[in-house]
Amino acid sequence: MLDHNRMTPIYVQIAEWLENEILNQRLAAHDKMYSQYQLADLFNINPATAGKGITTLLDDDLLYKKRGLGTFVSEHARETIIQKRKDETLQRMIDDLVREAEYLDVSQEELIKRLHQARREGGSS
């Protein structure tokens, strides 16, 4: 679950775990979110750290609060997380590909040609 040896702060790991709960549909739109105290007990961490993870998702509009009732999953949270992760993953892959192509002195034309070829072949080489 949480890796205390990772360089990623614990509150970020909490936010990622909660995002995964939404992606895996264990938490759906308008479901009540875990409280910071429930997360603190679950992961054996400080409630303030758990609260910071929840706040991260509130700041990203993935969660919303109902006064006196708690925190809930936003209507489009799952779609937003999917799009965010898709954008991040594709950008990282593209950056790596372009950097490697520059090291290997691959022209833009050849790179584009190879991308089209890989797409036609369904990603297999």
pLDDT of residue 29: 98
pLDDT of residue 6: 85
**Tens-place pLDDT, residues 50-62:** 999 999 999 999 9
User: What does pLDDT average to in each consecutive run of 10 residues of the chain (125 residues)?
Assistant: 85 97 98 97 97 98 97 98 95 94 95 92 69
SS3 17: helix
pLDDT of residue 123: 62
- Structural tokens at position 21: 């709960």
H helix and E strand count, the chain: 5, 2
Distances (CA, A) of 36 to 14, 43, 75, 86, 110: 10, 10, 21, 28, 52
pLDDT of residue 124: 58
Question: What is the residue whose two structure tokens read 């990772």?
Answer: 6
Q: Smallest Cα–Cα separation from 55: which of 24, 22, 25, 12? A: 12
Rounded Cα–Cα distance for residues 55 and 49 (Å): 10
